[in-house]
A and B are shown apart, each in its own frame.
Chain A
Amino acid sequence: MVALEPHTQTRRLVPKGPTTEHLKTGLTHVSLIALAGLLCAVFLCYPIIDTFWLSVHNVNEFGQTQGFSGFANFATIFRDPAFRGSVLRSGVWTVVVVGVTTVLGLFVAVMLNQPWRGRAIVRGLLLLPWVASLVVTTLLWQWIADPDFGALDHLARTLGLIHTNIAWLGNGNYALPLMMWIAIWVSVPPTALILLAGLQGIDRDVYEAASLDGTRGSRLFLDVTLPLLRPVLTVTVLLNVIFVFNSFPIIWILTEGGPLGSTNTLPTYMYNLAFELNEMGAAAAVAVVMFFILLAFSTLYTRLAWRNVAR
């Protein structure tokens, strides 16, 4: 991945020899990257900078700044118990969802890497949770969790697990675990399919050599497969963390962070602050906090992950 190994990437990309002499017309090069650079500058960089700007100003509901306010917005949100709760819930949400997703995704990938009848069909069908938009899958789960006619309570009753139907979304203690499960459920298939591609990229000769050495079964997996899969695994974890931490539609559609804020994570807390309560400045401060949490994580994670690989 480019992000994780900038040095080798750079070296590989640069064409060797004097062949690029003719191409060294600066204007051409600028024109090639101009549109991409412009779009990123206007629609990615400017909003980010503006978010930082807003976070240290008093902002009215139309997003107009009305004077510098220092860290007042940050002080406001740090004082808010709902913010602290959201930080905690975001942490648990991300760790649990990404952790379970990675384990299940790896399991599915390993199974799909073995030949058995019907494998192609299952692999094809596993695309479904991936391609369906989160709106569709979330609505589907809302229907499944319906306390009167839903399949979830029906299944649990059939299996004898419960005797009275549970209103899954009416209670924070049930709603959050259910939403975590939905997030896992949509994340496992893409994770599995990317890991599968990684597994298929491992040279068969490696296994042959290992089996000649007498390595068998789970040792083969732990000592040969896992280390070789590590770069791909690293990337999927990083991408999943970014994606899951920022996950918004599942919670917003099902509970909007409720009941009574008991299912708020940072994205829904921020959205509520910005577009329901019109506290644009404080909401921008939340966005800045989210930005730094992810930045800190990505930096630390890529450092650690690649140090281990290099060793």
Chain B
Amino acid sequence: MNRDAELSLDRIARGSSLGRLLTRICFGVLVLVLLGPFFVMLSTAIASNRAVVAIPPTWLPDQIALSNFREAFSVIPLARYFLNSGIIAGGATALNAIAAVPAAFALARLRFRGRRAFLIFIIATQMISPVVLLIASFKLMLVLHLLNTYWALIFMDGTISLPITIWIMTAYFSLIPQEVQDAATLDGVRAWRMLKDHFVPLGVPGIVTALIFSFVIAWNEFVFALTFITNPTIRPLTTGIYAFMGQSQIQWNYLMAASLLAIVPVFVIFLIVQKRLASGLSAGAVK
């Protein structure tokens, strides 16, 4: 549909001009409310030690200290936390990938006994939350001697996102034309090979979407990290920043600078794949 038709349709959809004005004002206020806090984060992150405790507070700091971003690294062991979060989220995502891709392929394209049961099982586990699992999984990690190791979080984070990644990938794999499978089958290609040579290359958008979910869930995970990891040297960013806040008089400008840095990598990834991401979710939703 061309742009003119789109605009005219839009006019039909919107109704009277007073109503339209009110709607726009409400929307404007809502956007300000949703984004305003990030403005506060930014203005605090660049405020000098004196400006951050100014009374009355100011919207923009009168003294700017970009050195906060460097200071944050020396006050909080940020580099260490970034590395830990990278290892944990990267490990969890890798584990998730090698488990979810073949499983989703099997669910989407193959007929086998117990397939339906497995599907229902995957759906049911989606309801299970980290909080409910916490006590028994703590005990499990204790028994496996995995407390205070990266592995505890890699296993839990990689598994907790399995239902959603399998679900998204299954939706994608089932969209790939049947001819691809038929042709490969006629050539006598077996399941694993078919997956590797045909379905993985064609399913890249879906696989990437799903794995980004896995990565972000692990990167932002808090409850397991809080419970499984007490050793400061392997803490991820989330509990690292939280612990920093608990132990001292909070220096909010450093904390906000650190928070800003923690958001950036994930924000950039999301921005790049934004379109794909939302459509991936709703593809799963409307299927």
Q: Which residues of A contact B (CB under 8 A)?
A: 1-3, 5-6, 9-10, 12-17, 19-26, 28-29, 31-33, 35-37, 39-40, 42-48, 50-51, 54, 62-63, 104, 107-108, 111, 114-115, 122-137, 139-141, 143-144, 146, 148-151, 154, 157, 185, 188-189, 193-194, 196-198, 200-201, 204, 207-208, 211, 216-218, 220-221, 231-232, 235-236, 242-243, 245-246, 248-249, 252-253, 267, 270-271, 274-275, 280, 283-284, 287, 290-291, 294-295, 298
Contact = CB atoms under 8 A, between A and B. Distances in A.
21 contacts: A2-B284, A15-B110, A23-B185, A107-B26, A127-B270, A131-B267, A133-B238, A133-B262, A137-B37, A139-B259, A143-B44, A144-B40, A149-B57, A151-B37, A194-B281, A198-B282, A201-B279, A201-B282, A232-B285, A252-B226, A291-B128
Interface of B: 1, 3, 6-7, 9-10, 12-16, 19, 23, 26-27, 30-31, 33-38, 40-41, 44, 52-57, 59, 95, 98-100, 102-103, 105-113, 116, 118-123, 125-140, 142, 155-156, 158-160, 162-163, 166-167, 170-171, 174, 178, 181-182, 185-186, 188, 190-192, 195, 216, 219-220, 222-223, 226-227, 237-239, 241-242, 245, 252, 255-256, 259, 262-263, 266-267, 270-271, 274, 277-279, 281-282, 284-287
A197 B278 contact: yes
A200 B285 CA distance: 13
A79 B238 CA distance: 35
Contact of A220 (B13, B262, B267, B278): B13
Contacts of A122: 31
Nearest to B120: A6
A115 B10 contact: yes
A129 B14 CA distance: 28
A218 B15 contact: yes
A134 B222 contact: yes
Contacts of A211: 9, 12
Contacts, number: 353
Contacts of A54: 135-136, 139
Nearest to A125: B35
A140 B259 contact: yes
B127 A298 contact: yes
A15 B38 CA distance: 49
Contacts of B23: 111
Nearest to A205: B1
Given A13-B170, A14-B111, A270-B131, A39 B159 contact: yes
Contacts of A149: 52-55, 57, 252
B242 A135 contact: yes
B155 A1 contact: no
A246 B127 CA distance: 10
B271 A124 contact: yes
A196 B105 contact: no
A15 B125 CA distance: 25
